[in-house]
Structure formats: C-alpha cells, structure tokens
Structure 1
Amino acid sequence: MWIIPVLRCRRSLYLSRVPMVVFEGKVRFMASYLKYAEHKSIEKIRNIGISAHIDSGKTTLTERILYYTGRIEKMHEVRGKDNVGAVMDSMELEKQRGITIQSAATYTIWKDYNINIIDTPGHVDFTVEVERSLRVLDGAVLVLCAVGGVQSQTLTVNRQMKRYNVPCLGFINKLDRIKADPRRVLEQMRTKLGHNAALLQLPIGKESNVVGVVDLIENKAIYFEGDCGEIMREDQVPLDMKEEVEDSRNELIEHVTDVDEKLGDLFLNETKFTKQDLKDAIRRTCLSRTFTPVLVGTALKNKGVQLLLDAVLDYLPNPGNVNNYAYLEKEEKAEKLVLNPERSEKHGFVGLAFKLEVGKFGQLTYFRCYQGMLKKTDNIYNTRTKKKVRVSRLVRLHSNTLEDVNEVYAGDIFALFGIDCASGDTFVTKGDLAISMEPIFIPEPVVSMSISPQNIKDRDNFSKAIARFTKEDPTLHITYDVDNKQSIISGMGELHLEIYSQRMQREYNCPIIFGKPKVAFRETLSAPCEFDYLHKKQTGGAGQYARVIGVLEPLPPSRNTNIEFKDETIGTNVPKQFMPGVQKGFLSMCEKGLLTGHKLAGLKLRLIDGANHMVDSSELAFFLATQGAIKQTFETGNWYVLEPIMAVEVTGPIEFQSVIINHLNKRQGIITGQEQIEEWFTIYVEVPLNDMFGFSSQLRSFTQGKGEFSMEYSRYSPCAQEVQDRLIQAFQESMGVTQKQKRSN
C-alpha cells in the first residue's frame, strides 16, 4: 500500500480508476473493490445493520460510512438540494419523501475488513424490512438521536434485536443539534431498553460547537478536520475535561467488570490491566449481549463515523462468532443442527432467502450464506418445495447496483436471479432436503381498505402490481370479500398502504381508489361456552353423521390473538382419522364471525367427546359438525369485539401541549407517560387504531407543521359498547343487502 502526504484536505483522487482515501492527513490508495470477491478468512467479515427510530440519521450515517471507506466518491444528503439523494435511498419515492421505505444492502472495505451493511427503515409501517434484515445479520448499530433519545420505534427495534439475539453498538447521533444530551440518552438506554450500557467516548464541545471526541479507552482527544471531517488529529485530553473523563472511564470499567468474569477478577485483585484487556472484555460482553458499548458523534457534520467503523471491527461479531442453527425434520421431532461457518467447500451450501424484489432483470432474491460455498452454475434445492434450480447469475448488492461474482462463502450476503421461492425459504446444494432454518417473524397487518383501479382497463396492471407487491412484502395482504364484492388490502398502517398506491401509479401506470380504512377487529367470548352438536344428513346412499361435544373457551388477555385446538377425547367415539376435519372446521369458522363478520381470536376449542357412525361418518361430516357447533355457540355464548390498541408517541412544541392532549382525549386515548425537554414535550398514549385515522393531517394543522407522531401495535382490547353496536348494525345491514341480492339473482 502506498502512502503519500497531502497539503489540502481532499478525499477523492482517482488515478487509473483506483480509489484513494485520505486518513489521518495521508492519502491511502485502496485496491479496486473487486478484491472484495477474494476469499478472506471469516475473521475479516462483518455483517451489520443500521437501525433506529424515524429520522435518527441512519441513512446519513450509512452515506458517511460509504464515503470514508472509499465506496462512493461524493456524499449526498437525504433531502439534498442537488436532487440526488443518498445512495441507499435508490427509490424515487424515498428521495422525494426523505425517508427509507425498503431496506438496502451494500458492502464496503475498512482496514482490510469486508463489511456487509443493511440500511433499514425507521417507520413502523415498514417494520418487516427491519425484521428480516436482523434475522440474517450478525451485529447491529442502534442509532439514537441525541435530542429525541429512546423513542417508540427504538423500543421496537430493540425487541427485534433481542428476538434474534443480535449484539449491538449504540451510536448517539446528532450531537450538533440544540439541546443534544448524550448523558440523558444513555440513561434512557439503561432504564427504557434495559441495556447495561456505558459511553466509550465523550464529546468535545456542545451542540454546534462539537469539534471531536475523547476516547475513554485510549485516553486521548480526537478532532475531525478537513472539508468532510476526513482528517483525524489526535491530541491530549482538554484540561477542563480531565475530571469528567476519569469519572466516565471508571463508570465504563465498572459496567464491564460487573458482567465480565475475567476483567472482574483482575479488578477485584487490584491487578493492573491493559487497554487491550479492557477492549477484549468489551468485545466478550458485547457478543454475549450483557454490555452495550455506546459511541457518540454527528454523521451530518462528519464527526465520529470513522471511530464507529473501528468499533464495528473491534466489538461486533464475525460470522464465526455466532451459532446459527438449522432443523432437520424427523418423524417424531425436529433435530437441531449447528451450521459450520468455515469458509470452504468441505460442507454443503446452506442459505436463507430473506427478501424478494422484482427489478428490471426479473425477480431478485436476497440470500445469506450460512454454510459452505456457492458457485455460479451450481444447482441448489429449495427444501420447502424440493425443487432444483441452476444458479445462472450470482451478484453482490450496492443499493440498486449489482456486481457479478463467481462464488460466495459462509457469512456473505448476496443475491440470485430467477429463483422461485418465498421469503424465509432454505436452500441447499446437497445433503438432506428435510433441513430448514428458523423462519422470519412476520407481524400481522392492522389496517385494511377496499382497493380498486380507477379505470377498468387497468385491471391487468392492477393484478400484476398486487401479485408482485404481496410476494415482495409478506405484511401486505389482499383478499376478496365475496359478500361486498370488493378487494380488501391490508397492511401495517396508512403510510404503508399509501406508499404502495403511489408505486402502483408510478411503476404500473395504474391509479387506484382506496375505500374507507377498515380496522382488523376480532370477535371473542367472555366466558366458556359448552356445545353438543349433531350433524346428520341422509339423502340416499352414504349419508353424513358426526357428533361433537366440547367447550369453546376464551384465552387469557396475553394470548387473545391466538387460536388453539385441543383433543381431549378418550376412546374411539371420535376416531383419530376424523380429528383433522374437526380442526379444519374450527379454523374455517374463525375466518369470519357471525357477530360483526370479523375473524375470531383468543379462543380455544376443547373437544371432549362425540359420536360416529360406521358408514356415514367422514372427515367432511366432522368438518360440518364443528362448523355447526361454533354457530351454536353464537346463539348461546356471550360474544364481544376486540380492537387493536396502538402505542402512540407524539412530539411537539410545549405551546401546543394542551391542544394535542385534548385531541387525543377525544380519540379515547389513555396517557401512559410524558416527558419535557426545554421547549419540546413528548407524550406517550394508548389509542384505539379505529380512532387514529386522520390524526396525521390534524396534528400538522394545529401545530403549524411542527408536531410529529409515530405509532405501533400494542395489543388487542375490548372495544367500547357503542363501537360494537355500530359494527353489529353495519354487519346486519350488509348481510340483509347480500340476501336481497341473492334472492334477486
């Protein structure tokens, strides 16, 4: 590697198209990024995600990372004046709105380490993008706003990291903003997120005067200079910060020694330990998720990003540090297998398809390789469908740019064309096809609307768009309501459905009409209800005979979205071969209740006894008998309606606080908490989703565009009596119209 001094603060020089990076006042020539395709040891790989609440600076941070590592030649802003936008926001809608809608993957090189990065959305409407990204990543950077701190979507992302056991670094961003307070954010990480966290750095200066950071481990000050903060200058710790630095370093050591036995022994025995001992302890505890290192900076003002990259290499796991499992389906139970992350051909390829995307070259499937290697022209097998497909093209991703490679190894994130599969499918090259990896958690949609094309002639384009988008996004559902003769689209929120309507118009030239939003209400019982139903039908020849006896009972509130079936029969009154018919009959009735027409939830069917006939009994007979039994409970049981409750977080100027609270009270909101930071306040409230429609435009109106809010699904809870009565009346009226239509036909 050549190193030459430079006099001016410039970063992007190109000689023979070889990128060079200014670092610590010198130009470092980097080999072409084609060397990324070289076979590297697994210790030189990092797979990370950038996750945070809305508008915390995720995409801006990713843009700086790509710039400092020489991946891009020039930085652009998310809402830039040059109409270019950030590299990772490749969709036109993302550039216009200044938000991330789809997760985007890229790769880069830092200090000879390969780093795969996935930039994820912050809006809860696109939470599935975060969900499936964290499923395949080894580590993550949790970005927090130095002013906003821990917000609603931060809590959601934290739960997702915990679900997949993903170690993370904290990065407190936006130190340049007025009222930035990293100490307050750190305390929120400890109290709200439950992290054993401590700062590795302290900012030098406050708000717009932040010029650098103090490294608590190395005990030195680092200043970011140059036009783009590319020159890092080391210096002594400022005299006025020495006491604060000493206290913060002791706090860091205390939090680490509490959870690391090795460093704790050295500390208790008063044995002097080195800086490397402390860094090793931080890495061990970070990998075990018992400690969260927290760094500080401001991505927009180009400060702290290079040190964050160093921390990614030092503290986050490589693919070999993480145990990944597959399950081998056997007759009695599934056997858990540990996948080998060694980057060689000795073990068969095992990969997980975690995202589908349709582009100009056809369907693009994102993969994570967990074991072995995959070459172009290899044959791979879908373990779900048992179908074989030949790998014709193997690519790596840089936002919407594709770069061809000849092979990939364990730990790599890549993409294939022409693969017919679903999100979460497992692929292998050899071995047992009964193997499968843990699936991706997919949340249920909470908002539904009727949808139709404006022009009848656009029906073909409408069908193509729906088929593509529902395949790409598993949280987007489309059903056809036979009674009302309309298509119903369901998603995670109003913004979610609005984005897809705009994409239909832009990408398929198909303007659409949305009907009134429809909330995913549920019907359930308030008390157990016994049933004894006999289905008997004789029309000549073989008839139908089935009797079912049991109890339909409500589940506890913590499981009131579940449906359960339990066979408690003794003897042969209900033969086991007919039990699937009973279960299918129960599940089919759960699709549409008889009270308001919504799905049933929070119920458990216990089949206790029954009767059968040697000739006339069949699976169909027990299917129909179970349906009749559920209808019987609607006549004898006490049914009520559940509605989704949303956890809403509203932020605005203190002058509008009373107005906002008044509007939330009118929407049946229950306030759960409040915070105030100088002239701004944040209110936490639980509101029925049915009452939240239109709140976005109202909030902008009465706060002069200064207020903002976010919401996420919290739980299902009984709805108000007047709402239930209105739903029942509307359902009865629609059924009356349907009956008239049937009679007229």
Structure 2
Amino acid sequence: MNRLHIEVARRRTFAIISHPDAGKTTLTEKLLLFGGAIREAGSVKGRKTDKHAASDWMEIEKQRGISVTSSVLEFTYHGYHVNILDTPGHQDFSEDTYRTLAAADSAVMLIDCAKGVEAQTIKLFEVCAKRRIPIFTFINKMDRQGKDPFDLLEEIESVLGMRSYPMNWPIGMGSEFCGIYNRHRFRLERFERQKDTQRLNVNGPDDPQIREEVGDLLTDRLSEEIALLDIAGEPYDIERIENGELTPVFFGSAITNFGVEAFLEDFLELAPPPSPRKSDQGLIEPIQTAFSGFVFKIQANMNPAHRDRVAFLRVCSGKFERGMSVRNVRTGKTLKLAQPQQFMAQDRSIVEEAYAGDIIGLFDPGQFRVGDTLCEKGSYQLERLPKFPPEHFAKITNKNAMRYKQYQKGLEQLVEEGAIQKYRTFLSRTGRNHHRRCRRTTIPSV
C-alpha cells in the first residue's frame, strides 16, 4: 500500500448529534481529553472557573452554555486520525447541523437515559438515515436514574425504526450503577466515583470476579439480561452496521469519564474510513490521486479583530498540498490555496497536507459558496448539499434608506453562509423580475 492508501484508511470523520442537553459537547470534550488534544476537559457551563468547553468558542456559547455553531476538532488516537464535527443541538441552528452532516462518514447519536429519544434527535437521525451512514449510539448519564435499558432499546426501534445491538450492558443504574459489562471483549469495567475505571477480564457474565465486585443481586440480574440479549436480541452484523441498518449501542457517563474511552476504542475500529462520493460523472473514490473536495460551511468573524471569513472544505479524494492550484467548478476559475488551516474549534494552524476525510479551512475573500466543488483535475460537480425547508420565517425591511447597500450586503453574506434562505415578494422590483423568470410567487419572508 502506498502512503495515500494508508493515510485515507486511518481517517475517521464523524458528527455527534443529539437533542439539546443530552451531553453532546461534554462527550466531545472527553473524547478530546482521551485523544490527548486537551489536558483538562472544560465544562459546558464553566462560568465559575472560566474553563469552558473547547468546542464552544463563541462568546454567546460561553455565556449561555449551548453550542450555536458547528465546531471542527481533530486529534490522533492509537494510529487513527480523528475529525470530530460537534454540531448544535438546538433547532434554531439546525440548518448548520444538516449541512455539516453531509461532510461526515458516520454519526454518533447521543441519548439521555432519562429522556430517551427526543424530538431533535429524530430530525437529525432522519438526515443521517437518508444518507445511509453508520450510526453509533451512546446512551449517556447512566450514573443518574433513568429508563430501563430494554425500554431504551425498544424506543430506538419503535421511534427511529432502527435495530440495535448493545456492545456493552450496564450493571445497575443511578445510585446503584457500578459498571458495564463489555459483551465483545468479555470485560468488566468497574465504576466508582472519583476513581479511575478498573478493567477486569472475565469469562462471562457469571464469572466469580463480577459477583465479588458488584454483589449477588446485580450479578444475577446481569446474567439474566445478557442471556435474554443473546437469545432474543439482534445478532452482531458488521455489514448491517456499515449500511446504517443496525446501530451498536454503548452505555456510559460522559460527565464522569466513564465508558468514553471504551466507546472510543470500539468506535474507531467499527467506524468506516472515508467513503466514495457521488458526482455528475460517477463515484469519486477517496484513494484516487487527484484532489477534490467541497465547501460545506462558511464562518465569518472567527477572529473578530480581523473580520475574517473561513470556508470549511471536506477533502473527498487524493492528497491536498499547501499552495496547490485547484478549479472552482461553479465559477470555472483556478485558485491557489496558499494558507490552508486545520482547526481545534477557534484555534488554527497552517496545514501543509491533508487527505480524504480531513476538514480544512480556506481564507475566503468572497469567492466561495456553500456547496462549491474544488478539484485538481477535470471539472465534475460533487453531489449537491441537501436543502431543507425553513423552520422559522420572518419579514424584514430596511428602515434606513441611506444604508441600503450595507443592508443588502449583510443579507447576501448570511445567505452565502447558509444561515438563512431569502425569499422576495413579486411586488418589489427585484421580486417582479424574479416572478417573470419563474412564473410563480415565493413566500414573502426571509
């Protein structure tokens, strides 16, 4: 295998999706912690210590304790090159999440054990299901009282229509929670607050070591539940996992670090490397030598002091090198990419090379649009990003006629970033022209 094949094979690019407050950003922080990208995990609402989550870099995110915009974070772990797309959970920012999912090869679906499958989780799951990407489920907050694990699995099947296979199984819950049993590795992972996780290799759920650690009552219950899963549960099928038909389920508690490292190890082994991408000229393989990629997000003012504007590009094939010339298929222009950047949320560093699966940032003076295809050779258009109907509508007018140009420029920038969709009435001058071209009216709102 040449270096291109090796580098592509070790890439893992995934998005984390969930309903608000399920613990998504906390899980992201702990993955970064175990990956060595940060030395100390911040808190989503770390106002007292002023230690905030690394992925929440905007001031409003720090103040309100929520994710407002998607963050790109990367690290290496056990030979894998990991790219995490931490997405907003709140529906007000769902359009950003929908576009970002197009850049992911798999998704981690986070579920609160007390609340189960919630409304926003359903919407994001449907977007992933349409693309048939593998979905891995992490059921969080097992150190708190919640729904019965079997009820949670039934909810995943009945609400989402997806079968599940538990990779591990909780021993107790809430105040009784004392660990998880790893079904594949035959391992007991002991949970004790304020202590590091203890891992014990066992011969099965009836192993005397488990009985000694957690007691007779919980051991007997574990044996019965594992036997039920083995008999009546779904069989392990890697092909169905890769096709997005079966979701591996992991239990843990992100806030206490428990179960996160075990999840990361299994996830990186099971998650797919970069997959082929559709184009108007057929499939584009990630291992082909010619570079190609598409812009899935544009973010302005990442550095307010410079009023900069960054286009986020997902590399789809080949090797990217700093300073290379590429063709923007939409405009037909040849561009030289002189200052590509890689990210740790707001922090960035100049990157010399990148491979299929990586996310890089390009300085954008206004020449990129969301959905643009860049390619080194040829002139093909990668599959267009999905466009979703607006969930909120507002009618806006310019109250200051002297600032009409600024008003229009601001609107256009928001449209280019994909933050809004603009509609005009046919009564305005531009609207009448638009009406003559399309022979139909549009919704009179923005």
1:251-284 superposed Cα distances (whole Å, 9 cap, x missing partner): 55557765xxxxxxxxxxxxxxxxxxxxxx5433
1:117-156 map, 5 Å: 117-156=84-123
Other-structure match for 2:206: none
1:668-725 superposed Cα distances (whole Å, 9 cap, x missing partner): xxxxxxxxxxxxxxxxxxxxxxxxxxxxxxxxxxxxxxxxxxxxxxxxxxxxxxxxxx
How far off its partner does 1:38 sit? 11
1:260-659 map, 5 Å: 281-319=236-274, 322-328=275-281, 337-342=282-287, 347-359=289-301, 360=303, 362-418=308-364, 420-431=367-378, 433=379, 435-451=380-396, 462-477=407-422, 479=424, 587-591=438-442
Instruction: Report the AA paired with residue 371 of structure 1.
Output: S
How far off its partner does 1:124 sit? 1.9
**8 A contact 2:169–2:182 mirrored in 1:** yes
SS of corresponding position for 2:349:
strand
CA distance in 1, matches of 2:273, 2:158: 29
CA distance in 2, matches of 1:122, 1:400: 19
CA distance in 2, matches of 1:89, 1:109: 21
Other-structure match for 2:18: 52
How far off its partner does 1:584 sit? 7.5
TM-score (norm 2): 0.86
Instruction: Report the AA paired with residue 356 of structure 1.
Output: I
**8 A contact 1:44–1:114 mirrored in 2:** yes
How far off its partner does 1:216 sit? 1.7
CA distance in 2, matches of 1:73, 1:457: 51
SS of corresponding position for 2:371:
coil
Instruction: Report the AA paired with residue 59 of structure 2.
Output: E
**8 A contact 2:8–2:355 mirrored in 1:** no
With over 3 angstroms needed to count, the CA separation of the structure-2 counterparts of 1:82 and 1:40, relative to structure 1, is farther
How far off its partner does 1:369 sit? 1.1
1:205 to 172, 175, 182: 172
How far off its partner does 1:204 sit? 2.7
CA distance in 2, matches of 1:230, 1:49: 27
SS of corresponding position for 2:341:
strand
2:184 counterpart of 1:217: yes
Instruction: Report the AA paired with residue 233 of structure 1.
Output: R
How far off its partner does 1:318 sit? 1.3
Other-structure match for 1:240: 217
1:9-66 superposed Cα distances (whole Å, 9 cap, x missing partner): xxxxxxxxxxxxxxxxxxxxxxxxxxxx999533322111110111111001101111
TM-score (norm 1): 0.53
How far off its partner does 1:232 sit? 3.9
Instruction: Report the AA paired with residue 273 of structure 2.
Output: N
CA distance in 1, matches of 2:411, 2:310: 17
2:44 to 75, 78, 86: 78
How far off its partner does 1:127 sit? 1.5
CA distance in 1, matches of 2:242, 2:120: 23
Unaligned runs of 5+ in 1: 1-36, 259-280, 329-336, 488-582, 593-597, 600-745
With over 3 angstroms needed to count, the CA separation of the structure-2 counterparts of 1:199 and 1:349, relative to structure 1, is same
How far off its partner does 1:141 sit? 0.6
How far off its partner does 1:234 sit? 2.3
CA distance in 2, matches of 1:141, 1:441: 20
2:153 counterpart of 1:168: no
CA distance in 1, matches of 2:175, 2:409: 50
Aligned residues: 424
CA distance in 1, matches of 2:42, 2:401: 42
**8 A contact 1:90–1:399 mirrored in 2:** yes
CA distance in 1, matches of 2:196, 2:85: 23
Instruction: Report the AA paired with residue 331 of structure 2.
Output: T
How far off its partner does 1:443 sit? 1.4
Other-structure match for 1:107: 74
CA distance in 2, matches of 1:371, 1:388: 18
How far off its partner does 1:482 sit? 5.2
**8 A contact 2:425–2:441 mirrored in 1:** no
CA distance in 2, matches of 1:451, 1:399: 32
**8 A contact 2:171–2:178 mirrored in 1:** yes
CA distance in 1, matches of 2:415, 2:437: 27
How far off its partner does 1:459 sit? 6.3
Unaligned runs of 5+ in 2: 202-208
SS of corresponding position for 1:160:
helix
SS of corresponding position for 2:280:
strand
Instruction: Report the AA paired with residue 336 of structure 2.
Output: R
CA distance in 2, matches of 1:247, 1:211: 17
CA distance in 2, matches of 1:350, 1:254: 47
1:208-240 superposed Cα distances (whole Å, 9 cap, x missing partner): 44342111223321125685x654432633343
SS of corresponding position for 2:254:
coil
CA distance in 2, matches of 1:481, 1:448: 17
CA distance in 2, matches of 1:457, 1:109: 52
CA distance in 2, matches of 1:209, 1:462: 58
Instruction: Report the AA paired with residue 428 of structure 1.
Output: C
Other-structure match for 1:654: none
**8 A contact 2:189–2:198 mirrored in 1:** yes
Instruction: Report the AA paired with residue 200 of structure 2.
Output: E
1:63-110 superposed Cα distances (whole Å, 9 cap, x missing partner): 111112211111121112223321111111111121111111101122
**8 A contact 1:134–1:164 mirrored in 2:** no
With over 3 angstroms needed to count, the CA separation of the structure-2 counterparts of 1:117 and 1:403, relative to structure 1, is same
Instruction: Report the AA paired with residue 392 of structure 1.
Output: A
Instruction: Report the AA paired with residue 369 of structure 1.
Output: V
**8 A contact 1:352–1:427 mirrored in 2:** yes
CA distance in 2, matches of 1:310, 1:480: 54
CA distance in 2, matches of 1:126, 1:212: 36
Higher relative contact order (CA 8 A, sep 6+): 2
Instruction: Report the AA paired with residue 426 of structure 1.
Output: T
**8 A contact 2:114–2:146 mirrored in 1:** yes
Instruction: Report the AA paired with residue 171 of structure 2.
Output: I
Which structure features the higher share of strand residues? Answer: 1
**8 A contact 2:328–2:372 mirrored in 1:** yes
**8 A contact 2:172–2:218 mirrored in 1:** no
CA distance in 2, matches of 1:426, 1:223: 49
SS of corresponding position for 1:451:
coil
